[in-house]
A and B are shown apart, each in its own frame.
Chain A
C-alpha cells in the first residue's frame, strides 16, 4: 500500500499537507428553503424571486419540509447523528447579492451532527473522513459584472435556494484524498437523491481548508484533538471542479511552505482560486466581513423533528454505495476494483444487476464497464439514458457462455446490436456469426491448411508454439467463427502434438 501522506520537501525539511472540506450541496427541491419561489436554472433575471427572497420588510420565512427531509436523509447516508432539535441563526454581512443583509444558516445547533465517510484511494486502500456537521442554509444571489463597465447587475434567482453545508474534519492528507472524498460524497448524495451533484451548474461546490505542518504533528493532533499542533489554515473558495481542487491545493501548500521557511507567519484568511493564473489570492473584502455577529433568527422557532419521521426516512433509504460494493463482492464474486467501478454510478450498478441475473457476473461486469461504458461516453451519454437494454448484454454473455459465439466475434455482434440491429441472437442469426463447432467442418479446414504447408507442419514438431500460426489460418479460413478450443484440439491431434 502506498503512503497516503504526501510529503513536500522544503528547503528546511519535509512538510505535510492537512486538508478539510466544506461542501455546499444544493438540495434537489422544487421551491426555495424559506419561500415558494421556484428553484431552477435558466429562468430570466429575478423571475424566480419572492418578496421573502428579495428581503422586503415584513416578509416572513416559512421552512420547506422537503428540504428538512433531504438534510435528515443525507445525514443518515453519512451515518451521522440526527439532531431532533435544531435552530436557525442569522449570519450578518453586507453584500449586493444578499438583500436581507443576513444569511439564514445554522451555527449553534445544526440539524445533523457527527458522521463518517469511508473513502477508497486509487490503490484500493480505504480511509475515513470524519464529518463534523451538516447544516441547512440559504444560497445568495448572483452578480454579473460583464454587462456594464461601471456597474454590477444583480440576479436574485438563486437567493434563498436551500443548501446543505457538509463540513469535514481535517482528515485528508493529499490533493488525491480530497478529490476522492468529494467524489465519494457526490456519489452518496446522488444515491440518496438529495442533491443532483451537478458541479458545472454549481449545484455542488467545495471550499478547501489548507494548512501545512511538520511530520508527526498531525498524529499529535489526532491523539489530543488540539488544533494547536496543526498549522494556520487558509480557506480556498471557488474550486468547482476536481481538477481545480487538486491544482489549488498544490499551489496553496507551496505558498504556505515558502512563507514559513522565510520565517513568516500564515494569516488565517479566505483566498480565491484563479484557474487561469493557477494561483490563489486573498479576498480582502471577505476578511473585513468576517465578524458575522451570528444570533438566533427571531423569525424562526426551533426546528423539532420527531423520532418517527426520522425512522420513516431511514426506512426509505436506498442501498448505499458501501453496502452495494460489499454485496457485489460477496454475491457476484467481483473484485473490489470491479465492484467499485460498478457502484460509482447507481444507474450503472442497476444495469449490471439486471444483466447479471443467472449469467457469469465477471463477464457481465467486463462488458458493462468496458464496451457499454465506452460507447455511452463516446455518444455523450451515461447509464441513466442508456439506449441498450440490459437484456441484450445478458443475452450476449449467454451466447458466449454457451459457445454459440467466441469472445472475439462477440465484439462484432455488439457493434451490430449497438447500431440497433436487434438482439444479439437476431444479429448472430442475420449475419451468420454462429461459431463453428461442427468438428467435420473444422477438420476439413485443418486438413487443407496442413496439406498446403507441409514445411510448417514439420516445423511444429520441433517448435510446438508455432501452432499459433495454424490456429490463425484456420480462424481466417472459417471467417473467425471456428470455436478456438475445438480448433486447437483438432490441430494438436492432426499435427501429432
Chain B
C-alpha cells in the first residue's frame, strides 16, 4: 500500500496535525518506509491462529455498577485553556 501526498494531507487533517505542504512528500516517503517495514509480518504463517489484539491472555476485568468517581470539577477543568461557570469554553461550533 503506497501512501501519496494527498493521503498524508487527509490523515493529517483528520488527526488535526498541522502539516506544511512542503512536508507532505517527505512524510509520505517516511510513512511508506514504516509500512514496508511492518509488512515483513506478512511473512509469518498465521494459518489457524486466531486474531488477537493483545499479547496477554486473560479475561477482561469488570467493575461493579457503583459510583466511585466525579465531583471534581476543578481537576477536570485544570487543563482547559478557557473555562467559565464549570464549563469548558471553546470556539463556537454550530451545526
Contacts and interface: CB of A to CB of B under 8 A. Distances in A.
Q: Which of B65, B68, B77 has the most CB of A within 10 A?
A: B65
Interface stretch (A146-154, A220-228, A372-380, A390-398): A146-154
Interface in A143-170: 143-145, 147-148, 150-156
A152 B91 contact: yes
A154 B88 contact: yes
Nearest to A68: B62
A66 B60 contact: no
B73 to A, nearest CB: 5
A64 B60 CA distance: 11
B69 A283 contact: no
Given A36-B63, A152-B93, A302-B60, A51 B87 contact: no
Contact of B65 (A29, A154, A285, A293): A29
Contacts of B60: 63, 300-304
A135 to B, nearest CB: 15
Contact of B53 (A66, A87, A95): A87
B53 A153 contact: no
B85 interface: yes
Interface string B58-95: 11111111111111110111010010111111111111
B69 A47 contact: no
Nearest to A94: B16
A155 B87 contact: yes
A154 B76 contact: no
Q: For this complex, into which size category does the number of interface residues on chain B fall?
A: 35 or more
Contact of A291 (B14, B53, B70, B94): B14
A17 to B, nearest CB: 25
A449 interface: no
A50 B75 CA distance: 9
A298 B60 CA distance: 12
A289 B16 CA distance: 11
Interface in A24-69: 29-31, 35-38, 44-52, 54, 56, 62-68
Interface of A: 29-31, 35-38, 44-52, 54, 56, 62-68, 87, 92-96, 143-145, 147-148, 150-156, 272, 283, 285, 289, 291, 293, 296, 298, 300-304
Interface of B: 10, 14, 16, 53-54, 56, 58-73, 75-77, 79, 82, 84-95
